C-alpha cells in the first residue's frame, strides 16, 4: 500500500468514525432519525474535503520545511479559517435537511460548534503531522540503509577498479623489462606498486590529506611512465594552502587513471596530464587536465564506474556540497572536483 492509499484509508476511517459517533450520541438522546444520519454523513464528507484541500495547500507551500515555531503558528491560524468553513457547512446542512432556518442570535450558538470544529481540526493536524514525521523518518532510514549498501558495493567496485588486472599486468611487465636494464629502477618501481596496492586494500578512512593522495598519484604515474615513456608527461600545480586539506582517498587517483586510460593511451603521440588545485572561500577545486577529446568512444569506455560512481561517493561523503564536472577546451579534457575545504567527510 503506497502513501496515497494509506492517506485515503486513514481519512475515510477517521471521518467515518466521526459521523458514526455523532449519530450514536444523537440516537441515545433523541432516537433514530434518517435526517440525522444524512446530515452527519454529509458533514463528515465536507470535513474530509476541507482537510484534503488543506493538505494539498500545505504540501504545495512546503510547510514541512518551516521552522517548528512558524509551522505551529501557521496551523493554529489556518485552523480558525477551516473551523469557520466547517461551521458554515454544518449550518447549511441543518437549514436544508432539517427544513428549518436557524439564526445565529447568540454567541454560544456560534462559539460551541466553532470550538468543536477547531479541536477536531487540531486533532487532525496532530495525527497527520505525526504520521508524516514517522513516514519521513522511516523513508530516511531506508534511504540511509540503501546508501550504506550502495557504498559497500562502490567500495568493492573501487577496489576492483584500482586493482584492474591490465594495470597490474602492464606494471609487472614494465618492471620485468627493467630488471636487467636498470635493477635500481626496477626495485623502485616494485616499491611504488606495493604502495599503490597497499593503499587500495588497507585504506579504511574516509579522508586523507591532499599530500598523501598526491604521493599515491605520483607513484601511479611513475609506473605508467615506465610503460609509456616519453608519451606520458605530467605536472603538478598544487596550491600550498591545499596540501593539508582533506580529500577522499583514491579519488584523484581514479580520475588520473581515467585520463591515462581514456586519453593519453589512445593518442599515438601521447600527451601531458596536469593536476592543479585552487582554493575558494569554502571550497577546494581539484583539476585534472589531459590532452585529448571527449568523443563517443571515450564516453562509452568511461561510463560505468568512473565519473558516476565517484560523484555518488562524494554525494554520500559531502551531501549537496560537492560536484564533479568534465569539459573540453582547446584540445584538453578537464575534470574538476569541487569539495568543501578542510571538512571531514560524513561518517556513519
180 in any annotated domain: yes
Tell me 330's DSSP state.
T
In a domain, 348, yes or no: no
Q: Nearest-CA neighbor of 333 among 256, 228, 242?
A: 256
Q: Choose among 27, 44, 41, 79: nearest CA to 58.
A: 79
Task: List the one residue out of 322, 332, 321, 250 whose CA is nearest residue 288.
Answer: 332
CA distances from 269 to 37, 104, 224, 229, 232 (A): 89, 93, 15, 11, 9
pLDDT digits (tens, 9 = 90+) for 256-271: 888 888 888 888 888 9
Same domain, 82 and 182: no
Answer whether residue 260 is part of any domain: yes
Predicted pLDDT of residue 277: 94
pLDDT score recorded for residue 110: 64
Pair (169, 87) in one structural domain: no
Boundary residue ending a domain (119, 152, 185): 152
Half-sphere exposure of 310 (CA within 13 A, CB side): 27
**Distance from C-alpha of 147 to C-alpha of 312, rounded to nearest angstrom:** 10
pTM over 0.85: no
Average pLDDT of the residues in 195-207: 70
Range of the domain at 212: 164-340
For the segment 163-185, what is each residue's pLDDT rounded down to a tens digit?
A: 455 567 767 877 887 787 788 88
Task: Provide the number of structural domains found in the chain.
Answer: 2
Shared-domain flag, residues 81 and 137: yes
Specify whether 64 is located in the same domain as 127.
Answer: yes
Q: Are residues 187 and 318 in the same domain?
A: yes
How many other CB atoms are there within 10 angstroms of residue 273's CB atom? 26
| 96 and 205 belong to one structural domain | no
31 Rama class: left (phi>0) / alpha (psi -120 to 50) / beta = left
Residues 272 and 169 in one domain: yes
Q: Is the pLDDT of residue 236 over 90?
A: yes
Predicted pLDDT at 105 = 46
Amino acid at each position: 500500500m503506497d502513501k496515497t492509499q494509506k492517506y485515503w484509508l486513514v481519512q475515510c476511517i477517521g471521518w467515518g468514525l466521526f459521523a458514526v459517533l455523532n449519530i450514536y450520541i444523537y440516537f441515545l438522546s433523541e432516537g433514530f432519525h434518517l435526517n440525522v444520519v444524512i446530515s452527519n454523513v454529509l458533514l463528515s464528507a465536507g470535513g474530509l474535503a476541507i482537510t484534503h484541500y488543506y493538505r494539498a495547500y500545505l504540501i504545495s507551500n512546503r510547510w514541512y520545511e518551516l521552522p517548528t515555531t512558524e509551522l505551529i503558528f501557521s496551523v493554529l491560524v489556518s485552523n480558525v479559517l477551516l473551523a469557520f468553513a466547517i461551521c458554515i457547512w454544518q449550518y447549511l446542512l441543518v437549514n436544508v435537511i432539517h427544513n428549518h432556518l436557524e439564526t445565529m442570535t447568540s454567541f454560544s450558538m456560534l462559539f460551541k460548534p466553532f470550538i468543536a470544529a477547531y479541536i477536531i481540526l487540531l486533532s487532525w493536524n496532530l495525527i497527520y503531522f505525526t504520521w508524516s514525521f514517522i513516514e519521513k523518518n522511516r523513508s530516511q532510514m531506508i534511504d540511509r540503509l540503501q546508501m550504506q549498501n550502495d557504498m559497500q558495493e562502490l567500495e568493492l567496485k573501487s577496489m576492483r577498479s584500482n586493482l584492474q588486472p591490465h594495470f597490474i599486468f602492464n606494471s609487472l611487465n614494465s618492471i620485468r623489462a627493467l630488471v636487467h636494464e636498470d635493477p635500481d629502477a626496477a626495485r623502485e618501481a616494485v616499491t611504488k606498486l606495493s604502495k599503490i596496492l597497499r593503499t587500495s586494500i588497507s585504506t579504511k578512512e574516509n579522508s586523507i590529506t591532499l599530500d598523501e593522495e598526491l604521493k599515491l598519484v605520483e607513484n601511479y604515474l611513475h609506473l605508467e611512465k615506465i610503460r609509456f615513456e616519453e608519451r606520458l608527461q605530467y605536472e603538478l600545480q598544487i596550491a600550498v594552502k591545499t596540501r593539508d586539506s582533506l580529500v577522499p582517498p583514491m579519488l584523484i587517483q581514479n580520475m588520473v587513471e581515467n585520463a591515462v586510460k581514456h586519453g593519453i593511451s589512445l593518442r599515438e603521440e601521447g600527451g601531458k596530464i596536469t593536476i592543479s588545485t585552487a582554493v575558494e572561500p569554502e571550497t577546494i577545486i581539484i583539476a585534472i587536465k589531459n590532452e585529448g577529446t571527449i568523443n563517443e568512444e571515450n564516453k562509452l569506455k568511461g561510463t560505468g564506474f568512473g565519473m558516476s560512481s565517484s560523484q555518488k561517493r562524494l554525494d554520500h561523503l559531502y551531501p549537496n556540497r560537492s560536484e564533479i564536472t568534465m569539459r573540453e577546451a582547446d584540445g584538453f579534457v578537464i575534470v574538476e572536483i569541487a569539495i568543501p575545504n578542510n571538512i571531514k567527510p560524513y561518517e556513519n
